[in-house]
């Protein structure tokens, strides 16, 4: 492992005027606007990680033969910075994202970035662009670290030149007018991941492969897709970018176990801890599509929700497939709402954090 590079700080000569920034922050949406700075670092076999710096946000110059454009050797992460009422700014479990980034890097034959470097990059960007962290409601500054094969070479082998960047984007509340259950399309034509594939890595290629199923969901008036396992087409895996949970009528909470084909979500892991501490029995075990359908029909499954950093928790209202559908609840369930609230209270500093999950960036 290389030692953490120091970041050179090269502030932008033309920051966004305060009035324009404030205007953006009143209705940022998601992924539309970017803060004034970004992080960059480069890796080569000879020099390992070097040229780490914070600089003005702006386009990258990419040769048409850059490897990532052809072979998709790329990984990313997603996490948020939260402003607390006292003005301090915090991230949530950034070391967990750093470790997952390392696991993704290994699978995609990219170099490992030290955990301290990953966290230091986020801290530097967030503290420099603290004015870009929206305040109030469920708003945040979304942080997007990513790494890609930047060697100019069409041969198929791990890139010998790799770029790491972090950009940040103010995000409004995911649910603008209160939490609302989503509809889900059960994909029969496609699987998200296969045994031995890249399902456990957070790589752009997984998302590219989820877009066609997502289009099919939209063609059937559904907002999201849920995937089954690729071998038996029986076991619930997850959505395109969210893990899934089932709340039973006795309060027990069940979620499929992480495996080579299910992404190890940090929200998922956090909710398992929170739910257990709120007195729920939590169970990580395979759930079949029949168990879901029969459980909702019999009342055994009382609530279904999906989770991930962007939406935190999204209740599932409807499951639809080629010749049928199932109503899983028109309103957000009680357990779903209380677990969601508990996690948000920790993230926004309204409750203390017995887990040590919050990481202070700006005092
Ligand atoms: C990122 C992601 C999740 C959610 O992970 P979090 O760490 O909770 O944001 C779930 N599934 C997939 C496929 C993902 O890429």
CATH of the domain at 331: 3.20.10.10
Asked whether 7 and 121 are in contact (CB, 8 A), the reply is yes
Average model confidence (pLDDT) across the chain: 96
Residue 56 has pLDDT above 70, yes or no: yes
Q: Is 41 in the pocket of ligand 1 (CB under 6 A)?
A: no
Residues 163 and 187 in one domain: no
Q: How far apart are CA 36 and CA 134, in angstroms?
A: 14
Exposed e or buried b per residue across 13-40, where buried means at least 16 C-beta atoms within 10 angstroms of its C-beta: eeebeeeebeebbeebeeeebbbbbbbb
Which ligand 1 atom lies nearest to the CA of residue 78?
9
Does the beta carbon of 265 sit less than 6 angstroms from any atom of ligand 1? Answer: yes
242: Cβ below 6 Å to ligand 1? Answer: yes
Please indicate, yes or no, whether residues 220 and 338 belong to a single structural domain of this protein: yes
- Here the CATH number for the domain that contains residue 86 is 3.30.470.10
CB 267 less than 6 A from any atom of ligand 1: yes
- At 1 the pLDDT is 44
Stretch 281-286: mean pLDDT, rounded? 98
Residue 326, classed as helix, strand or coil, is strand
Same domain (yes/no): 243, 317:
yes
Is the model's pLDDT at 7 over the cut of 60?
yes
Which residue puts its alpha carbon closest to atom 10 of ligand 1?
242
* Residue 263 burial class via C-beta count within 10 angstroms: exposed 0-12, middle 13-18, buried 19 and up: buried
199 Cβ inside 6 Å of ligand 1: no
Decide if 360 is inside a domain: no
272 close to ligand 1 (CB < 6 Angstrom): no
Residue 168 confidence (pLDDT): 98
- pLDDT, tens digit, 9 for 90 and up, residues 162-191: 999 999 999 998 887 788 899 999 999 899
Flag whether pLDDT at 317 surpasses 90: yes
113/104 Cα distance (integer angstroms):
11
- Kindly state whether residue 356 falls inside one of the protein's structural domains: no
Same domain, 56 and 81: yes
* 104 CB within 6 A, ligand 1: no
Instruction: Grade residue 3 by pLDDT with cuts at 50, 70 and 90.
Output: low
Are residue 162 and residue 187 in the same domain, yes or no? no
In terms of residue numbers, what domain contains 57? 8-171
Which ligand 1 atom sits closest to the C-alpha of 268? 8
**In this structure, is residue 176 part of a structural domain?**
no
Asked whether residue 78 falls in the same domain as residue 30, the answer is: yes
Q: How many domains does the chain have?
A: 2
For 187-226, the pLDDT digits (tens) are: 998 999 999 999 999 999 999 999 999 999 999 999 999 9
Same domain, 163 and 238: no
Per the confidence metrics, is the pTM higher than 0.75? yes
Q: How far is the CA of 276 from the centre of ligand 1 (A)?
A: 21
Of 95, 98, 242, 310, which is best to mutate to test ligand 1, by the most ligand atoms within 8 angstroms of its C-beta?
Answer: 242
Nearest alpha-carbon partner for 285 in 316, 263, 258: 258
Q: Which pLDDT does position 194 carry in this prediction?
A: 94
Please check whether residues 141 and 220 belong to one and the same domain: no
- 5 pLDDT tier (thresholds 50, 70, 90): low
What are 69-120's pLDDT values in tens digits? 999 999 999 999 999 999 999 999 999 999 999 999 999 999 999 999 999 9
- Kindly give, in sequence order, each residue whose CB lies less than 8 Å from that of residue 8, ignoring residues fewer than 6 positions away: 52, 53, 54
Which of 171, 194, 227 terminates a domain? The answer is: 171
Q: State whether the beta carbon of 140 lies less than 6 angstroms from ligand 1.
A: no
Residue 118: inside a domain, yes or no?
Answer: yes
34 and 142 part of one domain: yes
Q: Is residue 352 part of a domain?
A: no
In the listed set 115, 137, 171, which residue is the last one of a domain according to the structure? 171
Q: Report CA(234)–ligand 1 centroid distance (Å).
A: 21
The rounded Å distance from CA 261 to ligand 1 centre is 12
Q: What is the pLDDT of residue 175?
A: 80
Work out the average pLDDT over 20-49. Answer: 97
119 and 204 fall within a common domain: no
For every residue of 47-116, DSSP letters joined together read TEEEEEEEEE--PPP--TTBHHHHH--EEE--EEEEE-TTS-EEEESHHHHHHHHHHHHHHTT-PPPPHH
d(CA 90, CA 83): 7
Q: Does 200 share its domain with 260? A: yes
- Residue that finishes a domain, picked among 151, 171, 191: 171
Establish if 358 belongs to a structural domain.
Answer: no
Residue 55 has pLDDT above 90, yes or no: yes
158 and 236 in a common domain: no
> What pLDDT is stored for residue 174 in this prediction?
83
104 in a domain, yes or no?
Answer: yes
Say how many Å lie between the CA of residue 361 and the centre of ligand 1: 23
Let me know if residue 311 belongs to a domain.
yes
């Amino acid at each position: 492992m290389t030692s953490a590079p120091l970041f050179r700080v090269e502030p932008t000569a033309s920051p966004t005027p305060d009035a324009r920034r404030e205007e953006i922050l009143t209705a940022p949406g998601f992924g539309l606007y970017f803060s004034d700075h970004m992080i960059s670092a480069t890796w080569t076999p000879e020099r390992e990680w070097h040229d780490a710096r914070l600089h003005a946000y702006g386009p990258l110059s990419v040769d048409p033969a850059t490897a990532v454009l052809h072979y998709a050797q790329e990984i990313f992460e997603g996490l948020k910075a939260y402003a607390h009422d006292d003005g301090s700014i915090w991230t949530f479990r950034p070391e967990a994202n750093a470790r997952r980034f390392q696991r993704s890097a290994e699978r995609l034959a990219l170099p490992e970035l030290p955990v301290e470097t990953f966290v230091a990059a986020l801290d530097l960007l967030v503290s420099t662009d603290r004015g870009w962290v929206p305040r109030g409601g469920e708003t945040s500054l979304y942080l997007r670290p990513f790494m890609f094969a930047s060697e100019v070479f069409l041969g198929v082998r791990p890139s010998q030149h790799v770029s790491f960047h972090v950009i940040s984007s103010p995000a409004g509340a995911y649910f603008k007018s209160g939490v609302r259950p989503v509809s889900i399309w059960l994909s029969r034509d496609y699987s998200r991941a296969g045994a031995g594939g890249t399902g456990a890595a957070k790589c752009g290629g997984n998302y590219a492969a989820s877009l066609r199923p997502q289009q099919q969901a939209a063609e059937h008036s559904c907002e999201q897709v849920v995937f089954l396992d690729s071998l038996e087409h029986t076991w619930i895996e997850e959505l395109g970018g969210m893990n899934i949970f089932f709340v039973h009528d006795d309060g027990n909470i069940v979620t499929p176990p992480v495996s080579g084909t299910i992404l190890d979500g940090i929200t998922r892991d956090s909710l398992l801890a929170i739910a257990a501490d709120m007195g729920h029995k939590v169970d990580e075990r395979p759930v079949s599509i029949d168990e879901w359908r029969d459980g909702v029909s019999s009342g055994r499954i009382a609530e279904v929700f999906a989770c991930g950093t962007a939406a935190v928790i999204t209740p599932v209202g409807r499951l639809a497939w080629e010749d049928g559908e199932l109503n899983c609840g028109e309103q957000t369930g009680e357990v779903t709402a209380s677990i969601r609230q508990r996690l948000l209270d920790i993230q926004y500093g309204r409750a203390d954090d017995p887990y040590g999950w919050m990481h202070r960036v700006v005092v």
